[in-house]
Structure 1
Amino acid sequence: MKRKLTAKEYTYVASMLFGLFFGAGNLIFPVHLGQMAGSNVWQAILGLLITGVGLPLLGVAALGISRSNGLFDLSSKVNRPYAMFFTCALYLTIGPFFAIPRCATTSFTVGLEQVLPQNGSNTLYLLLFSAAFFAAALFFALRPGKILTWVGKILNPCFLVFLAILVVVALLSPSAAIADVEPLGDYASQPFFAGFLEGYNTMDALASLAFGIIVVQVIRDLGVTEPDAVAGSTVRAGIFSCLLMAAIYVAVTIVGVQSRGLFETSENGG
């Protein structure tokens, strides 16, 4: 029986967890925050990191340290009716009510919509794209045993490479100096608290309570079954994943600030 994961396995598990966390909101909200915060970006980033990175880390750690077998088991420590309500509310929130729709719409808006003819058929295009998008998502979801391979070893590394190219090129060719960009809205008077609230919009604080058990199961599948070892491995994978997410948040937010030299402030980061 293994007592701990290898460095390579930690990398794959952390990559998988990052891939689960980093969805549509994680890309659009930091950009929008940067555009709005302007020269106050550092205070805003600090607030964003607390709720957008710190809380998700606590959620994953809670699943690992408590040795719970999932969200329902964890919330049952309050009582069973609360566990039933909270589990249903959380999965509906990070699923069909909010997170799932924006995954398809964000992908369509920032990608395919830009190259399609603007002939008034965008709703039809979005419908067709969403059908294909969720069909692909269903294909992968029905094969959970391969999640470490598909997300941790393939999809996320490819995503990070493309994102790194985009961010590096943008940072090397800034269109505006941070000090010259005027803060807007609440970011002018309360940048820290505005960023703090923006971090909730990523919904990772909620998602971490659902994703934690996925990490636990993957670690067990890798041969670590002793409860203390599973808990420790879960927390360490969460730390590595959240550190990577924090670094990307900072970089993407800075790109958002510098984009004000070329673009008007977007409504939502898209």
Structure 2
Amino acid sequence: MVKKEVFFTGLMLFALFFGAGNLIFPPFLGMEAGTSFWPAIIGFVISGVSLPILSVIAISLAEGGVVSIGSRVHPLFGVFFALVTYLAVGPFFGIPRGASVAFEMGVAPFLADRSSHSFVFIFMVVFFMVVYLFSLNPSKIVDRIGQWLTPALLLAIAALCTGAFLKFNAPLSEPSGKYEESPFIAGFIEGYLTMDAIAALAFGIVVITAFTNSGMKDWRDRAKATIAAGVIAGIGLAAVYISIAWIGARIETDEQFSNGGELLTTASHMLFGEGGRILLGTIVALACLTTCVGLTTATAQFLSGRWSVISYRAFVGILTFISFLIANMGLAQIIEVSVPILIMIYPFAIVLVVLAFVHPHLKYSTPVHVGAILMTTIFSINDGLTALNVSDTFFQKAISWVPFFSSGLGWALPALAGGLIGFFVGKLKDPA
């Protein structure tokens, strides 16, 4: 295992995960948690960092990637789930959303007419040309992101956080909203809502390919290297999340904010004036760019691996063009369409990742997987309907008694129960 390769792959993985959405959650958490800052941010880090890193490791341990862990339910489910996952976090939602956020937070604040379609179109042309060029050669992604873009991103974040640590010293306020009673649980759910575990299923193939290209042919060596790279990425993510959450907790202002993006914009302007807006714009642009490159690369690798009649480079072009078209729809429309689908996929991703770690020890693997996924399906459908503002249905009322239902984690215990039922069914069929 080459330590340099592992280190820069870890930096690449950090940048792939750290999209603009990750900038928004922690500052708002810090502002609302106040004196309950530490239990809240610890909960956030556990779910917002651990789940994605575990997902990448799970993919590295399963020869065949996402298709492999899904095929333990059924081969057709494995292919279908992998395809839906890659397309959802890739060209249909994830990549266009990243490009749109880059424009909204990185460019629009400097424009007199933020809604001008011509400005949006020109920005998207340039942005996706860069994404296309960076994604053409997957063997160079560690060099381009790990060695160049990530240090630039970290330097910009460090400048913002250092300025905040030196200048912001307002006393911590009393916890508000959901952080008043159970700050740890509230922080955990907030980290869960980043939904990075879905993207992690896609990024796993990028990490594996990077290590394979560096000469690691044995899957055991790749798995060990992936774990080490995941630890590096996890430490970086945790440090950044805590730092920008601290900005929200200690900012000195009476302004009211509706989201973390507004808070960071105000904080950067308070610290560095007009230069602060440029600094934040740089952070957002780099964060979105690295994530979009990673998602494009991962999706193109998956599709070209399954359907080799079309080359990897051709898939990069197709994916970039589709993402460009959808990105021009605007951020609001993209979020409106994507959120329900991502919310439906997310429980499946977590259940499959957890099962991937216990799979080697399962005697009745298929019935356990089937039972867990069937129970998860019930609650995923409900979560999707809720995200579409379809509520107060008979279906919803029938399952609303389940623990953690109101927090969006109602699927957890039923999935466990489904897995146990599957185990006993398997034992009855094969008592040996």
Is 1:160 aligned with 2:150?
no
Measured on the aligned residues, the alpha-carbon RMSD in Å equals 2.0
Contact persistence 1:35–1:256 (CA under 8 A):
yes
* 1:92 to 1:177, Cα distance in 2 relative to 1, 3 A: farther
What is the letter of the counterpart of residue 49 of structure 2?
V
- What's the counterpart of residue 27 of structure 1? 23
In the alignment, which of 238, 242, 249 is matched to residue 234 of structure 2? 242
Q: Provide the rounded CA distance (Å) in 1 between the counterparts of 2:120 and 2:217.
A: 44
| Cα distance, 1:208 vs structure 2 | 1.2
What is the letter of the counterpart of residue 170 of structure 1?
A
- What's the counterpart of residue 65 of structure 2? 70
Contact persistence 1:65–1:232 (CA under 8 A):
no
- Normalising by structure 1, we get a TM-score of 0.89
1:1-270 equivalence runs, <5 A: 4-5=1-2, 7-66=3-62, 68-117=63-112, 119=113, 121-178=115-172, 181-259=173-251, 261=253, 263-270=255-262
Q: Provide the rounded CA distance (Å) in 1 between the counterparts of 2:114 and 2:219.
A: 56
| Cα distance, 1:164 vs structure 2 | 0.5
Per the alignment, in what secondary structure is the counterpart of residue 261 of structure 1? Answer: coil
* 1:98 to 1:41, Cα distance in 2 relative to 1, 3 A: farther
- Normalising by structure 2, we get a TM-score of 0.57
> Max radius of gyration: which structure?
2
* 1:187 to 1:14, Cα distance in 2 relative to 1, 3 A: same
Report the count of equivalent residues: 262
Per the alignment, in what secondary structure is the counterpart of residue 269 of structure 1? Answer: helix
Q: Provide the rounded CA distance (Å) in 1 between the counterparts of 2:250 and 2:116.
A: 30
Q: Provide the rounded CA distance (Å) in 2 between the counterparts of 1:134 and 1:34.
A: 34
Higher relative contact order (CA 8 A, sep 6+): 1
Contact persistence 1:24–1:102 (CA under 8 A):
no
Q: Provide the rounded CA distance (Å) in 1 between the counterparts of 2:181 and 2:252.
A: 19
Contact persistence 2:24–2:259 (CA under 8 A):
no
* 1:268 to 1:165, Cα distance in 2 relative to 1, 3 A: closer
- Stretches of structure 1 that go unaligned for 5 or more consecutive residues are none
- What's the counterpart of residue 389 of structure 2? none
- Give CA deviations for 1:125-179 in whole Å, capped at 9, x if unaligned: 334323322222122222222101111110011110111111111111115222x
